[in-house]
Amino acid sequence: MTVYYADPPYNQGLPIQKDSDGNHFIQLSPIVRLEPDGYQFTPNSTRKALLQVPVPYINQIASLEKNDNFNIPIKIICRSYGCEKWEQQDVEYECSRDKNGYYCLTFAVSHFSDYVVYSYVKSTIYSILKYIFPSWQQRIKTLAFLSEIDTSNDTVHMKLILSKKDEDETAIVPVFDQTFIRIRLATTGLENTILDNGDYEAKFKKRGLDYPEGYLKPKKVTINWNESSYHAIHYFCKVIDKAAIDIAQIFLQPQDQKQDTNEKACYLRRVNSNEPNPSKRSDSEKLPVLPTKDDSVLSDEMDTEFFDIIAEKLHINDLLRLGNLLHLSEKEVDEIKLREHGGYDKVYKVLKLWKNNAGQKADISVVVAALRKMKKNSIADQLEEKIAEWKRSI
């Protein structure tokens, strides 16, 4: 059975870096999954299993390079399910066209697993073909901002932005009216969440701000990652507590049964302003601006970076041991392993559960110590380097 994927989490671990010659990785085919995973063909068999993979966008690349001879470098890689590491396959392939004139690659496979075809192309071509496959879901990050507070009636505009995780923030923020982008809020709860295309209801739960119709009449949001790499939700709010740290909670409820139907929560919190000498103004006169690097914001951002490192490096077979060292029960770890799909997501969610349980006492050094007990010293070393780098930047 052959199954095709192109989106997160299936493409986790694919190379995305630029090489020294200025060439960029570009995915030429969807990921092709052959099941059952690991099935091996008889080594001495005279039969060969041939896999034909569609690579339709070579047409566009060849056209942009003004070269119809199909001579761009081709690489074929594969991996086993649950494993984030892709391995290059040294196999011969044949190029052909299907009945519609699109290119296909045919090559021999010795076992069932995930396969994908990729290449490296010049930066100019990469910028044109950055998003070449229809996207059904994306791993996301969140940005949130407030406008200046209108002290005449205690109202403020709030904007929550859902974007692809790898999207450049500096390219997103300037798109919006900058009068709404004055106070940066810290956001938690949706880190590395995978959001499907489709319709959502965004329910607003008041904290320091109130949006009167927010929970009874939630905003409608349509997510389509093929049309945009980010989506914004705008609220016109009433300020009910100027000193509040917790600003609001937004709950995203999918409306399509084909989607992941679990409600997703985003928590928005205030951080310190970088306004010089704010104490010289009264509360009613203060006009907050975007904050500088604030410890609480960095803590959330850096925890995400720490967890990324661990989730990418730790094998799924070591997850229960890590959970036990972090004082999670076997039942809690097993529930996450059953609920989440990829190995990355299983590890990441276990770490998030530990952090939520520990609350204010959560300290990444506890995780480093646990990894050392597990003899995962290379991961622990990488984390400690990241911690030192973060402390130097403060």
Please state the domain extents for the chain: 2-128, 141-290, 301-393
Dihedral pair phi/psi, residue 264, rounded to 5°? -120, 130
Is it true that the peptide bond before 36 is cis, omega within 30 degrees of 0? yes
Q: Please tell me the predicted confidence (pLDDT) of residue 31.
A: 86
Angle at which helix 377-393 crosses helix 295-313, to 10 degrees, equals: 160
Q: Please tell me the predicted confidence (pLDDT) of residue 300.
A: 54
Q: Please tell me the predicted confidence (pLDDT) of residue 272.
A: 54
Q: Per CATH, which fold does 301-393 belong to? A: Death Domain, Fas (1.10.533)
Taking alpha carbons only, the member of 179, 205, 176, 193 closest to residue 268 is 205
pTM of the model: 0.53
The 10 Å Cβ neighbour count of residue 117 is: 23
Class of 2-128 in CATH: mainly beta
Give long-range contacts, CB 8 A cutoff, 24+ apart: 324-327: 325/370, 325/373, 325/374, 326/350, 326/351, 326/354, 326/366, 326/367, 326/370, 327/354, 327/357
H/E element, 122 = strand 114-122
Taking alpha carbons only, the member of 281, 285, 190 closest to residue 233 is 190
Q: Does domain 141-290 have CATH number 2.60.40.2660?
A: yes
Q: Please tell me the predicted confidence (pLDDT) of residue 94.
A: 87
Q: Alpha-carbon Rg of the chain, whole angstroms?
A: 24
Report mean pLDDT in 10-residue bins for the chain, 394 residues.
67 70 76 80 68 75 52 81 79 83 84 84 54 72 90 90 87 84 89 87 91 78 87 92 89 79 87 41 34 39 75 90 91 86 84 83 86 91 83 62
Q: Please tell me the predicted confidence (pLDDT) of residue 282.
A: 36
Q: Please tell me the predicted confidence (pLDDT) of residue 239.
A: 92
